């Protein structure tokens, strides 16, 4: 029994120590079957605290009805709507430029990381311009609005590229969708600390330092321009500096040919995106669900106008932000068990259901309990929606990987901006919904009327949240057509790895076609390490999974106890000294390995960059030569025609021109026919592709159904066996005396204990 107690202690407490040792052991090298070391994992997450902290700061200088800079500059509700629409239109115009910038970025440090290095200074300068210049022009209302709109859109342009770079970086940080999901789950908890700290500190500091008395009562510090001119820039500079960890601490791991030059034309991107059905499913779900989270936007209203204390906003907003943490942490487990499709459907359904009590609470006369009832259900909505923090990037990764699989090109920037354009157009179309509801209850300018809870604030919350319920339910519908499973996505990544091998000349095209065919047929373990090779880390020391490492450490502990037990004090001290020397040597080797690995990474980075530059130069030279040849050919044809015209009579020249015209018509008709055949062939290929994907999905569903049936049968058999054993015990008990039954049970318990000890 004593041995069992020791084992339990080891399982509960020592495993924590083992896990910490495991993390430090794999700090610079990836664990077994992984692509990310914990140093890179930490760099991405810590950098994310800065990035997300920086991107939440602009919400305090965005035009929000009744709050922040809108109140500080005394901007009317109708003007907020007009500026919002103008900003949306400008956003539409800049979207093609953004997509081209993102998708055609080629630099030594990758496609996304450069923006995390280049943009902090422009972002900080644009924010300073936004909080100082419009305020200086307040004497001229129209000029102030124009200045605000200009600086706001400059800031938005930089922020859009900056946040997109970080959010898209996670899609290429590892080729394993499971590892990406794990990173997004744990990482989202860590980097959400950035926005949480900002949302705690800014309202608290602003209300403590800059709350003033106005003619109509107290003006909250969060609505005072000085808090935005002093506190926000300092916080922004700190966040942008922390964001640099992500730029310099991680690698981009594209599963593509080495030295690939990213080059995507706008028309080409549009044509490619049109065929990505998963992109359209996800986008359509977002469009119809545009109002589904509207209840969560009223946390600040509840704090400011219902509760009305200086600390309420800091606490309520922070708790609301933290409420999504359980959802983030549970997301990988839920995704692994149910798949992304089912989790999305379940999440959106619960968001709609939890919005109903908010509507009911706002529909009755406000009491002391009203804000707390609404807030509790807003927390539940936020908790459930926490899975989306992990789900949406995971879905985007699948969509982009599928895009590369189908078309051969990655167009993260284009897909992101196309989605943005569509959602912006929808935003313009729905922009007047909330202002119309606000106006219906007398909220057109100034925040004073929002203190009238019964006639203004509660009805506004009720009617806007009432729209959120059907919006949330409708957002579920498109995902009924999502058939890209996690298993299929793994196959797609393996196909991309094969194509990268073929492109790099590591395997022949024939071998590539054969491997692809085997993967597409559903055969497992086809690659036999081929998939990992382009990205694996070179290490001398063996790597482990967490469970393997814990077992190894437990075994070492038992060996140490045995050595200590059988040694004298002097022998044990000698053993400890030897172990200390061995650990120091191992540490030195690890340090050297880490330095060499970083050196190799840098060398590989430089090689890829030089290769990309060479390819780009060759393409430019080829294009230049093609242009020169075309020009020379055109000149030669022109001279030839002039010579031909001189050598002919007018009649012969007219006949020649007529024949030439007829030939052009004939060539045009032939090209038209060729294009028609090409389009028909493309349609046939697309149809065959869709049919193959459908068959793959049906096959997977059949396998899943068979597995479920097998589990159900096994469960029923176990249940029947358990019932049989129970009946046998009852019969056995009946056939024995009390003393015999007691002795029988005691013997059985001792037998179980001996087995446990062994």
Model confidence over 91-131: pLDDT tens digits? 777 766 766 676 666 667 777 888 888 899 999 999 999 88
| Confidence (pLDDT) at 5 | 39
Structure token digits, residue 248: 């310099």
Mean pLDDT of 365-377: 88
At 111, give phi and psi (nearest 5°): -100, -30
| Confidence (pLDDT) at 26 | 75
Instruction: Assign 538 a pLDDT band (cuts: 50, 70, 90).
Output: very low
| Separation of CA 596 from chain center | 31
pLDDT exceeds cutoff 60 at 532? no
Instruction: Assign 11 a pLDDT band (cuts: 50, 70, 90).
Output: low
pLDDT exceeds cutoff 50 at 539? no
Structure token digits, residue 495: 């196909």
pLDDT exceeds cutoff 60 at 350? yes
Write the DSSP string, 95-162.
HHHHHHHHHT--BTTBSSHHHHHHSHHHHHHHHHHHHHHHHHTTTSHHHHHHHHHHHHHHHHHHHHHH
Pairwise pLDDT comparison (122 vs 321), residue with the higher score: 122
* C-beta of residue 390 within 8 angstroms of C-beta of residue 180: no
pLDDT exceeds cutoff 80 at 395? yes
pLDDT exceeds cutoff 90 at 400? no
| Confidence (pLDDT) at 477 | 93
| Confidence (pLDDT) at 357 | 92
Tens digits of per-residue pLDDT, 677-716? 877 887 777 777 777 777 777 777 787 788 788 888 888 8
Q: Comparing C-alpha atoms, which of 27, 35, 110 is closest to residue 532? A: 35
Q: Comparing C-alpha atoms, which of 401, 413, 423 is closest to residue 165? A: 413
Radius of gyration of the chain from its Cα atoms, rounded to whole angstroms: 33
Rounded to the nearest 10 degrees, what angle do helices 370-407 and 340-362 cross at?
150
Whose tokens are 């003393």? That residue is: 739
Structure token digits, residue 246: 């992500």
Distance of alpha carbon 102 from alpha carbon 412, whole angstroms: 8
Tens digits of per-residue pLDDT, 415-457? 766 776 777 777 766 767 877 888 888 877 666 788 888 888 8
Pairwise pLDDT comparison (471 vs 653), residue with the higher score: 471
HEC-encoded secondary structure of 430-470 = HCCHHHHHHHHCCCCCCCHHHHCHHHHHHHHHHHHHHHHHH
Distance of alpha carbon 56 from alpha carbon 371, whole angstroms: 25
Instruction: Assign 377 a pLDDT band (cuts: 50, 70, 90).
Output: very high
**Average predicted confidence (pLDDT) for the chain:** 78
Mean pLDDT of 283-305: 86
pLDDT exceeds cutoff 80 at 363? yes
pLDDT exceeds cutoff 90 at 213? no
pLDDT exceeds cutoff 60 at 406? yes
Mean pLDDT of 534-544: 49
Pairwise pLDDT comparison (66 vs 536), residue with the higher score: 66
| Confidence (pLDDT) at 421 | 72
| Confidence (pLDDT) at 259 | 45
Instruction: Tally the C-alpha atoms within 13 A of residue 369's C-alpha that lie toward its C-beta.
Output: 4
**339 Ramachandran zone, left/alpha/beta (phi>0; psi -120 to 50):** left
pLDDT exceeds cutoff 90 at 80? no
pLDDT exceeds cutoff 50 at 4? no
Mean pLDDT of 651-665: 83
Mean pLDDT of 285-300: 87
Mean pLDDT of 662-676: 85
Strand partners, 64: 67
Q: Which residues fall within 8 angstroms of residue 568, CB to CB, at 6 or more apart?
A: none
Tell me the pTM: 0.60
Instruction: Assign 353 a pLDDT band (cuts: 50, 70, 90).
Output: very high
Mean pLDDT of 44-63: 85
Range with the largest mean pLDDT of 119-133, 265-279, 656-670: 119-133
* C-beta of residue 116 within 8 angstroms of C-beta of residue 173: no
pLDDT above 90 coverage of the chain, percent: 9
């Amino acid at each position: 029994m004593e041995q069992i107690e020791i084992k339990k202690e080891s399982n509960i407490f020592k495993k924590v120590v083992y896990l910490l040792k495991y993390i430090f052991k794999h700090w610079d090298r990836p664990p077994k079957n992984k692509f990310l070391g914990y140093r890179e994992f930490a760099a991405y997450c810590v950098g994310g605290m800065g990035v997300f902290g920086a991107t939440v700061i602009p919400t305090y200088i965005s035009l929000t009805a009744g709050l922040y800079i809108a109140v500080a500059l005394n901007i009317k509700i109708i003007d907020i709507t007009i500026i919002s629409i103008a900003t949306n239109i400008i956003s539409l115009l800049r979207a093609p430029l953004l997509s081209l910038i993102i998708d055609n970025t080629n630099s030594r440090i990758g496609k996304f990381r450069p923006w995390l290095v280049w943009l902090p200074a422009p972002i900080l300068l644009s924010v300073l311009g936004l909080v100082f210049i419009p305020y200086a022009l307040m004497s001229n209302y129209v000029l102030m609005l124009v200045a605000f709109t200009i600086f706001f859109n400059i800031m938005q342009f930089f922020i859009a590229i900056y946040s997109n770079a970080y959010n898209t970086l996670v899609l290429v940080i590892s080729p394993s969708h499971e590892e990406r999901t794990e990173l997004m789950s744990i990482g989202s908890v860590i980097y959400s600390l950035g926005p949480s700290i900002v949302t705690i500190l800014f309202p608290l500091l602003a209300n403590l330092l800059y709350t003033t008395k106005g003619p109509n009562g107290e003006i909250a510090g969060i609505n005072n321009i000085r808090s935005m001119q002093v506190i926000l820039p300092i916080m922004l500079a700190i966040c942008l500096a922390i964001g640099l960890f992500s730029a310099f601490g991680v690698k981009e791991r594209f599963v593509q040919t080495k030295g690939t030059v990213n080059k995507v034309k706008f028309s080409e991107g549009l044509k490619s995106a049109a065929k990505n059905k998963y992109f359209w499913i996800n986008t359509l779900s977002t469009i119809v669900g545009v109002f589904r989270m509207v209840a969560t936007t009223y946390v600040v209203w509840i704090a400011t106008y219902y509760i009305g204390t200086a600390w309420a906003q800091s606490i309520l907003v922070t708790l609301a932000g933290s409420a999504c943490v359980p959802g983030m942490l549970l997301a990988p487990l839920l995704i692994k068990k149910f798949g992304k499709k089912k989790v999305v459907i379940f999440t959106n359904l619960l968001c709609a259901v939890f919005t109903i009590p908010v509507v009911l609470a706002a529909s009755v006369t406000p009491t002391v309990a009203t804000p707390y009832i609404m807030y509790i259900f807003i927390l539940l909505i936020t908790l459930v929606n926490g899975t989306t923090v992990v789900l949406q990037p995971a879905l985007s990764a699948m969509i982009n990987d599928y895009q590369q699989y189908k078309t051969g090109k990655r167009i993260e920037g284009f897909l992101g901006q196309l989605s943005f354009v569509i959602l912006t157009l929808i935003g313009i179309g729905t922009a007047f919904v909330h202002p119309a509801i606000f106006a219906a209850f007398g909220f057109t300018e100034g925040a004073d009327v929002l203190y009238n809870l019964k006639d203004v604030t509660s009805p506004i919350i009720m009617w806007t949240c009432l729209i959120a319920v059907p919006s949330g339910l409708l957002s579920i519908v498109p995902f009924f057509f999502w058939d890209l499973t996690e298993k299929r996505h793994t196959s797609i990544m393996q196909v991309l790895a094969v194509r990268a091998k073929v492109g790099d000349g590591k395997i022949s095209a024939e071998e590539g076609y054969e491997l692809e065919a085997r993967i597409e047929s559903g055969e497992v373990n086809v690659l036999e390490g081929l998939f990992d090779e382009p990205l694996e880390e070179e290490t001398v020391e063996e790597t482990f999974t967490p469970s393997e490492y814990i077992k190894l450490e437990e075994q070492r502990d038992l060996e140490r106890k045995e050595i200590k037990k059988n040694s004298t004090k002097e022998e044990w001290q000698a053993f400890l000294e030897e172990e200390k020397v061995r650990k120091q040597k191992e540490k030195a080797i690890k340090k050297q390995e880490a330095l060499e690995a970083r050196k190799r990474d840098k060398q590989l980075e430089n090689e890829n960059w030089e290769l990309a530059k060479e390819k780009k130069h060759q393409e430019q030279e080829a294009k230049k030569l093609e242009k020169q040849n075309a020009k020379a050919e055109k000149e030669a044809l022109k001279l030839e025609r002039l010579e031909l015209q001189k050598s002919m009579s007018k009649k012969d020249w007219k006949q020649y021109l007529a024949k030439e015209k007829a030939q052009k018509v004939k060539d045009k008709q032939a090209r038209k026919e060729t294009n028609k055949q090409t389009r028909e062939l493309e349609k046939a290929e697309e149809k065959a592709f869709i049919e193959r994907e459908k068959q793959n999905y049906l096959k997977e569903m059949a396998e899943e159904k068979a597995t479920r049936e097998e589990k159900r049968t096994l469960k029923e058999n176990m249940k029947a066996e358990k019932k049989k054993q129970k009946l046998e015990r009852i019969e056995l008990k009946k056939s024995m005396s009390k003393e015999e039954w007691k002795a029988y049970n005691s013997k059985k318990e001792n037998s179980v204990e001996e087995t446990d000890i062994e």
